[in-house]
Each structure stands twice: as structure tokens, then as C-alpha cells.
Amino acid sequence: MPRNAFYAQSGGVTAVINASAAGVIETARKHRKQIGKVYAGRNGIIGALTEDLIDTSRESPAAIRALVNTPGGAFGSARYKLKGVEKGGHEYERLIEVFKAHDIGYFFYNGGNDSADTCLKISQMSRTLGYPIVAVHVPKTVDNDLPITDTCPGFGSVAKYVATSMMEAVLDVESMAKTSTKVFILEVMGRHAGWITAATGLAQRKSGEGPHILLFPEIPWNEEAFLARVDETVKRYGYCAVGASEGLQDAEGKFLSESGLKDAFGHAQLGGVAPMLANLVQSKLKLKQHWVVADYLQRAARHIASKTDLDQSYAVGKAAVEMAVKGMNSVMPTIVRTSGSPYRWKIGVANLTEVANVEKKMPRDFITPDGFHITQKCRNYLQPLIAGEAFPPFEKGLPKYVRLKNVAVRKKTRSDFKL
């Protein structure tokens, strides 16, 4: 008898996480003998805890296909860390209760480091509680910091967005620098790892072109060195373009964005490494500056998604189901790079014990010795990940994105659960 599956999105969403959802759902629909319905958690794992499940079988094949073109989390995602076994494990027990009530035998969790850990624990708990469930983690994170996998679905599209945006802004600044802005700063995501910052460097195709300076969270902030390099660059090329990580920190690991900015109301200024750097340039070097904080735009920009990333995002969703129906438990599909040039990849598999809570940082040899740019080795790694375009369909000048019906499944447990 087929058993039902549960799918949930976890953590920050991406331009292509819904492609993974489509991969899971479309593939499950092809395995009717093993998998009954796919239920999605409304707002991620919270939907499981509160028994707020979405019946994806109520969505047409066309609607599920349209997920491939739609950014954000179609069923809602959540930033919610399950309370551990040390706190009584009630939340895990509740999950098993809900899964049991809906005959859920497959658990697909689409997220990053935290959710890999959750996925592992659910698999362990199901054994402890004697309720069999196959748990497979579907990788997703723009931070690109999951171990084992060559890259993380979601990252390639952010990388393509920030590289394209930087390239365009550089052409703008370059053409105005004679009489206007001399220093341009683009702040990007990546609080602990500089992968996205590195990707802005791809916009530089020839020496002398911007971006001239990259500021990585891995390299301790050095005000003097930064200002000297900006000054030198403006003198030499007429302008200076900078890609800066939101997670820039000093030698003591203190985030620059927490260094005491106050607004007009006297409140601490939130976020914003770019305006801070810009103010520094303005006050110390007296150079006109402009800055961008791209924030969510970078991870939602489905309109400029990487085809490679999109394909890989779909593939990990598909592979997760194929692994699950084979009974592979506590695993995560990975991307394996089988050839660098020409770029070729295939799906591999990792054990969740090797993945959970492990963070992959930028290798030091991906950053130039002076700490201000990426090396050729880094370019070779990044280049294929942004390759290929996969524009969504457009309607009346805007991308045609789908909103699902998200019909609720009738509740079966009698108990309410308080988060």
C-alpha cells in the first residue's frame, strides 16, 4: 500500500526552491505505487506541528509545473528551530503524531544546515518511537555553505543576479565618474561565508574593470587598507566599485553593521554595511559615493535565475523522491561536479550525519593573497554555476508567477498544538 509524503520548505526562500518542490511533487506523482499524496506544510514545519497540511494533489499539473518559474516559497517557509530532545522532545513527538494520523511515510525537508539536522533527528525519532518514516533532506541555501555537495541549490541564481547587477552598475558608474559618483558599493548576503560576495567578482572580466574590491566575511575588516585601496583605485581608473558582504566583521569577529549606527530617533541602525562603508569613504576620502543594499531582491530574482541552478534545484527534488522510494533514509542528494571544463554534474548522495550543522566556508585559495578579490581557481568554480538563462514567462510586462490554491487537509488529530 502506498503511504503519503510530507514536504516542507525551511529557512530563507530562494528564486528556485519551488523548482525543488516541483521535482518532489512531479516525481512522487510518478510513483503512485509507493507514494500516495504529497502533503505540504503550510509555513514549513509549523504546518506539521499545527496539523495545517496542504493537499498538493488538488493542484493541476500545470500549476505544479509553474512552480519551476516562481520564486519564494509556494507553501510558506519558516524560520523555526525545533526544540531538541533535551527539552523533552515534545515537538518531535507531535510531528510523529501528525504523520501517523495522515499515514505519512516519507519526510522531505527542503532547507540548509539547520533543516538537515532536523531531518536527521526526525529519522532517529521515528525509530525510537517505532513509527517508520523515510527522511530525506533536499538541499537549499543561497549561502552555499552545505558540505559535501559541490554547490547548494539557490546559490547559482543569487550569484548570477549579483554578478549581473554589479556588471550593470559598473557600466553606469564608469560612465558618470568624471563628474559624479566615484565609489560604488553593493552589499550582498552571506553572513558567515563570502560565496555571494565572491560571485560579484565575476562581473570583472578584465583587469581594471569593476568590481575592484571585494570585502569578505572571512577577511577581517581593515579600515586603513580598504581606504588606501579605494583611493589608489579611483586615482588609477577614475572610479572604484566594491562588493561587500553584509557579514563583514573586524578581527574580533564583531559585525561592522552592529558598530553603533544611530538613527534620527536614537535607535540603533539595523543592517547596512554598504551605507556605513559609503559614509566612511565620503568622510575620509571626500569622494562622492553611491550604495545598494540588494537584500531580498537577490534571492527572489527568478527573472534572472541560473539555468544550471534551476536544473539542479529540480534534480535534487526528483532525486530525493527516487532515493526515498528505494528506502534510502537519512540522506541528502548532492551535486557532484564530474568535470570542470566542460562543466558536467550528476546527482550524488550524502549521509545526513555528515551534513547536519557543518558549515562550508570559502577556501582561502579562492581569495587573492591581499584579501580583496577572487582567484582564478574561484572563478573556475563559480563560472559554471551561473551559466544558462531560464527566463520565466511574462504577462503584461511582468513575470507570470503562480500562486497555488493551497487547499487544507482535514485535521485528524484531536489535539491543538501550541508553538
Give residues 6-25 in contact with a copy of itself (rule: CB under 8 A): 9, 12-13, 15
Taking CB under 8 A as the rule, does residue 32 contact a copy of itself? no
Residue of 83, 127, 171, 407 interacting with a copy of itself (CB under 8 A): 171
> Between 3 and 284, whose beta carbon lies closer to a copy of itself?
284
Which residues are within 8 A (CB) of 144 and not within 5 positions of it... i.e. 6 or more apart?
151, 152, 155, 193, 195, 196, 360
260 binds a copy of itself (CB under 8 A): yes
The residue (of 35 and 177) whose beta carbon lies closer to a copy of itself is 177
| Of 76 and 153, CB closest to a copy of itself | 76
Report, in Å, the least distance between residue 301 CB and a copy of itself: 6
By the rule CB under 8 A, 118 interacts with a copy of itself: no
Whole-number minimum distance, CB 257 to a copy of itself, in Å? 10
Taking CB under 8 A as the rule, does residue 286 contact a copy of itself? no
213, three cell numbers: 574590491
Nearer to a copy of itself, 33 or 396 (CB): 396
Q: What distance in Å separates the CA atoms of residue 274 and residue 158, rounded to the nearest whole number?
A: 18
Residues 212-251, mask of contacts with a copy of itself (x by CB under 8 A): ----------------------------------------
Of the residues 173, 193, 214, 404, which one makes contact with a copy of itself according to CB under 8 A: 173
By CB under 8 A, the residues from 38 to 97 that bind a copy of itself are 43-44, 46, 70-80
Q: Quick one: which of 106, 93, 101, 125 has its CA closest to 4?
A: 106
Distance set, CA 108 to CA 33, 80, 115, 381 (Å):
18, 16, 10, 29
Of 303, 318, 350, 243, the closest CA to residue 28 belongs to 318
Query: Does the footprint of a copy of itself cover residue 184 (CB under 8 A)?
Result: yes
CA distances, 109 to each of 78, 138, 285, 302 (Å):
12, 6, 49, 22
| Single residue of 87, 179, 251, 342 touching a copy of itself by CB under 8 A | 179
Cβ contact 170:183 at 8 Å: no
Peptide bond between residue 211 and the one before it cis (omega within 30 degrees of 0): yes
Residue 272 binds to a copy of itself (criterion: CB under 8 A): yes
Q: How far is the CB of 194 from a copy of itself (least distance, A)?
A: 19
HSE, side-chain direction, 13 A CA sphere, residue 143? 22
* Closest approach of a copy of itself to the CB of residue 21, in Å: 11
Site string for a copy of itself, 388-407 (x = CB under 8 A): xx-x--x-xxxx-x------
User: What residues between 301 and 360 interact with a copy of itself by CB under 8 A?
Assistant: 301-304, 306
Task: Based on the residue annotation, tell me whether 143 is a catalytic residue of this protein.
Answer: yes
* Amino acid in the structure at residue 254: K
- Closer to a copy of itself at the Cβ: 101 or 261? 261
Q: Which lies closer to a copy of itself via its Cβ, residue 278 or residue 350? A: 278
Interaction between residue 280 and a copy of itself (CB under 8 A): yes
Catalytic residue among 52, 117, 143, 309: 143
Among 37, 102, 140, 160, binds a copy of itself (CB under 8 A): 160
Q: Which residues are catalytic?
A: 143
